[in-house]
Chains A and B, each alone.
Chain A
Amino acid sequence: MGDITKLIARRLGFGLLTLLVISIIIFFMVELLPGDIAEAVLGQGATPETVAALREQMGLNDPALVRYFSWLGGAVVGDFGNSIVTGARVTEVIGERFINTLFLAAYAAVIAVPFAVVLGIIVALLRNTLFDRVANVLTLTSISSPEFFLGYILILYLSVKTSMFPAIASLSSDMSFPELLHRTFLPALTLVLVVTAHMMRMTRAAIINLLASPYIEMARLKGTPPWRVIVRHALPNAWAPIINVIALNLAYLITGVVLVEVVFVYPGIGQALVDAVSKRDFPVVQACCLIFAATFILLNLAADVGAILTNPRLRHPK
Chain B
Amino acid sequence: MSDKFKNAPVLLKIKDLRIEGYSEETWVPIIKGVDLTLHRGEVMGLIGESGAGKSTIGAAAMGFARDGTRISSGSIEFDGMELTTASEGEKRALRGARIAYVAQSAAASFNPAHKIIDQHTEAPLHYRIQKRLAAQEDAMELYERLRLPNPKEIGFRYPHQVSGGQLQRAMTAMAMACRPDLIIFDEPTTALDVTTQIEVLAAIRDIVDQFNTAAIYITHDLAVVAQMADTIKVLLKGEEVEQAPTAEMLDNPQEEYTKSLWAVRSFQRPQKARPQGATPLVSVQHVDASYTGGDKVLDDVSFDIHEGMTVAVVGESGSGKSTTARVITGLLPPTQGGVMFKGEALPPSYKDRTKDQLRQAQMIYQMADTALNPKVRISEIIGRPAQFYSGLSGTKLKARVDELLDLIELEPSKYYNRYPPELSGGQKQRIGIARALAAEPSFIICDEVTSALDQLVAEGILKLLDRLQRELNLAYMFITHDLATVRSIADEVVVMQHGRVVEAGPKDVMFTPPHHPYTDLLLSSVPEMDPNWLTTLLEERGVDNVGEAADV
Chain A positions within 8 Å of B, measured between CB atoms, are 212-215, 217-225, 228, 232-233, 236-237, 312-313, 316, 318
Contact = CB atoms under 8 A, between A and B. Distances in A.
B278 interface: no
Contact of B62 (A214, A221, A237, A316): A221
Interface in B428-461: none
A318 B109 contact: no
Nearest to B59: A221
Contacts of A217: 66, 103, 109
A97 B108 CA distance: 51
B110 A218 contact: yes
A318 B158 CA distance: 9
A219 B174 CA distance: 11
Nearest to B92: A223
A110 B161 CA distance: 37
A55 B356 CA distance: 70
A223 B101 contact: no
Q: Give the interface SS of chain A, mostly helix, strand, loop or mixed.
A: helix
Interface stretch (B33-41, B77-85, B122-130, B234-242): B122-130
Given A220-B95, A223-B95, A237-B113, A214 B158 contact: no
**What 10 A-B pairs have minimum CB-CB distances, sorted nearest first?**
A223-B96, A236-B113, A222-B96, A223-B95, A221-B101, A214-B108, A218-B109, A215-B111, A214-B109, A222-B123
B67 interface: yes
Given A212-B67, A217-B103, A223 B126 contact: yes
A223 B127 CA distance: 9
A255 B419 CA distance: 48
A312 B105 CA distance: 19
B93 interface: yes
B158 A215 contact: no
Nearest to A237: B113
B181 to A, nearest CB: 14
Given A217-B66, A218-B101, A312 B94 contact: no
A214 B112 contact: no
A222 B93 CA distance: 9
Contacts of A223: 92-97, 123, 126-127
A215 B112 contact: yes
A313 B112 contact: yes
A313 B160 contact: yes
Given A220-B64, A318-B161, A215 B110 contact: yes
A236 B114 CA distance: 9
Contact of A218 (B94, B103, B126): B103
Nearest to A219: B111
Contacts of A222: 95-96, 100-101, 122-123, 174
Contacts of B97: 223
Contacts of B109: 214-215, 217-218
Contacts of A212: 67
A224 B91 CA distance: 11
B74 to A, nearest CB: 20
A212 B109 CA distance: 11
Contacts of B127: 223
Nearest to B95: A223
15 contacts: A214-B103, A221-B59, A221-B62, A221-B95, A221-B101, A222-B174, A223-B96, A224-B123, A233-B111, A236-B113, A237-B112, A237-B113, A312-B160, A313-B112, A316-B161
Nearest to B174: A222
Contacts of A233: 111, 113
Contacts of A215: 108-112
A214 B110 CA distance: 8
Nearest to A222: B96
A10 to B, nearest CB: 16
Contacts of A312: 112-114, 158, 160
Contact of A318 (B67, B96, B122, B160): B160
A220 B67 CA distance: 12
Contacts of A228: 126
A256 to B, nearest CB: 33
Nearest to B66: A217
Contacts of A224: 96, 122-123, 126
A232 B161 CA distance: 20
A125 to B, nearest CB: 14
Contacts of B94: 223
B111 A221 contact: no
A243 to B, nearest CB: 14
Given A221-B64, A223-B127, A225-B126, 9 more contacts: A214-B108, A218-B110, A220-B64, A222-B100, A223-B92, A223-B93, A223-B97, A236-B111, A312-B112
Contacts of A219: 111, 122
B163 to A, nearest CB: 10
Contacts of A318: 160-161
Contacts of A218: 101, 103, 109-111
Contacts of B161: 316, 318
Interface string B54-93: 0000010010101100000000000000000000000011
